[in-house]
Structure 1
């Protein structure tokens, strides 16, 4: 073993000792496999829809080139199909412009690594995605001008903005900074929604609109929420449109989850789009999305924008409610040290919005001190439920994460609840026979 392997193995061994070692897993969850997938982000079960598959196959059958794009968008990879898809997405989301990326990670790194300038401020939710942090690290913004606020907490945001306002007054006369505010619409670990209107109201108190740039990552809500799958921001009426209305300046819509494909699109002004084409290295130096993916996205958005898409979104909500109605009583009789939901964050949606006051999320994080053991226990009973441990979540936030999908067999949901109840019974201490009987 060479010195490099020796050094790296020592680091891997330390990770194993901490219970944080990762390895690749593959599961066959096709019909007849005996396994039910509760880990996939295919929230609308779009990837297995026979009609969509037929439409996609028909689409690529009529094209002479489908396997690649042959280069970056700035060289040979730019095709009319890419630009037509961008125009379609801009129209669909009523956005000023759209720019395709190979992934949501690339889009976030491109934006946060280039758009904020040294005199600007970046304020972000403490639980915002790792790709935002990677982008911020690549930016020219000094570390003390990148400030987090407590998760989904308008009061914490107000405290941060008050400090920034005070600092800005000291530097009056210099170039006015842009205040970037970064959040997600739906967070991937706790399955909680951001109180977007409340956070924007706070921003309005401290920062003039002309100096605001609000970025919302809709990775887990693209295709799943809002009319036509346009997302939470659109449903709340907060997205910047071609007429200039709306307080959310930039939206990131990704395609690897509810849309069932890959890639992402950044919805922003024409100036931001042009700037990223010129300065964003992940965009400039990456081969463009293959045409097979472009055609898949066209087919997927045909589906998502149709009545079939609306039916799937409604079915997903029914599935979530079914599961929560059954897991709730189980957790009510379970000691929190064995299994519990994350502490709820007080984020009611304002009355009169188009989303329900407590919108249902397909992500259920069940906190457990032994998530690897619980995951293995569930797998033995035919359920793929993956553990999530630090550094993905903070210490003390270890969990298994259950992801629900539209149309999943209700018998499988009941079976998962029974397996969780069995786990709880095994973990109960002596003398808890009364609780054991209720389970």
Structure 2
């Protein structure tokens, strides 16, 4: 063993002692397996869509180009297929322009590492994705100008904005205030109260100095008409430039990130932004400049997926997902009423995100397909559920803050209600077992 291996091994051992060691897992989730997957982000079950498979194979067979793009888009990797897909996304999401990335991680890192300038402010929800933090660490924005606010808390945002408004009281201040949010947070499974947060921004920061960035990774394809997302459903698309005046659109969200590795069932991402931001990223974003462009097989898959999302099948899948999400929430509410909170509980989520019902695809309190069940023994609960045929993965620090250990349940369209009932029955069995154990220990 080399000295390097010895030092790295000691660090890994430290993770094991803390219960934070990670390893790659492989599960058989094929139709021949008895395991039921509650860990996948395939919310619409598109990866098992027969219509999608048929359309994809047919288009592959007729396409002159299937395999890799063989270069970055600034060299030889760009094609009309890339530009055509970006044009489709700009129209579908009602955005002035769109830029493809190889992943949502690359897109977030690219944006936050390059677009905010040294005199700008970046305000972010304390639970925003790790890719935002990685981008900011590479940015020119000094640490003292990157500030977090309490998760989903409009008053917490107001407090931070009052702080920076006081620090930048000069009338000729031209710094931009970036606000980084997610529409649906992947660990707690709660929606951002976006209208309330935008109202707070409007109160403290002039519109021309705002840049609101919303990550819709977990809402792409799921919420809004045809899966256009939360911002589109709320009519908050911004970033438009009209003629030489460069006027903004009426919406208050300037940048949107839509990713393809979750409900879309593919890979890659698209950043929806103004033409100026798009051009800036093409010139300065290193993950874009130095990465081979998305392969043609992926572009073909995305075209086929969007045909499904815009069809009746897409609507049926979204409504199915909402139905089983509501069902699981109801069953869990019944279980947790009689469960000691120290054993198992849901994160607090007191805020109704949206004031009015906009459509069946974005009700005032939307059901979400993600549930974070907090428990101090997440590994033990995950192992218990696996023995009963359910893949439910534990999530521990540093992915979540200390004390936020949990198992994460993800739902998929088309799941039978009997499967949902089976999971809740296994959870009830675990709660009863742990309650009895606690009772025995109390008597000793």
Which category of TM-score, normalised to the shorter sequence, fits these structures? Answer: over 0.9
Native 8 Å contact 1:277 1:283 kept in 2: yes
Match of 2:349 among 344, 351, 371: 344
Give a deviation string over 1:39-78, Cα, whole Å, max 9, x none: 0000000000011001001111112321200000000100
Q: Where does 1:10-409 land on structure 2 (aligned, <5 Å)?
A: 10-169=10-169, 171-173=170-172, 176-240=174-238, 242=240, 244-351=249-356, 353-354=358-359, 355-409=362-416
Give distance in 2, aligned partners of 1:295 and 1:245: 33
Aligned residues: 431
Give distance in 2, aligned partners of 1:166 and 1:334: 46
1:431–1:383 Cα change, 3 Å: closer
Give a deviation string over 1:131-184, Cα, whole Å, max 9, x none: 000001100001000011100001011111111111111x554x5100000000
Counterpart of 1:427 in 2: which secondary structure? helix
Q: Which runs of 4+ in 1 moved over 3 A?
A: 429-433
Give distance in 2, aligned partners of 1:330 and 1:423: 11
Give distance in 2, aligned partners of 1:312 and 1:384: 22
Counterpart of 1:428 in 2: which secondary structure? helix
TM superposition shift of 1:347: 3.8
Give a deviation string over 1:236-273, Cα, whole Å, max 9, x none: 11112646220000000000001110000000000000
Give distance in 2, aligned partners of 1:347 and 1:280: 37
Native 8 Å contact 1:152 1:347 kept in 2: no
User: What is the Cα-based RMSD across aligned positions, in Å?
Assistant: 1.4
Give distance in 2, aligned partners of 1:224 and 1:204: 28
TM superposition shift of 1:367: 0.7
Give distance in 1, aligned partners of 2:438 and 2:395: 31
Give distance in 2, aligned partners of 1:305 and 1:76: 32
Give distance in 1, aligned partners of 2:358 and 2:323: 20
1:430–1:90 Cα change, 3 Å: closer
Give distance in 1, aligned partners of 2:21 and 2:416: 32
Give distance in 1, aligned partners of 2:236 and 2:275: 19
Native 8 Å contact 2:125 2:148 kept in 1: yes
Counterpart of 1:25 in 2: which secondary structure? coil
Gaps of 5+ in 2: 243-248
Counterpart of 1:203 in 2: which secondary structure? helix
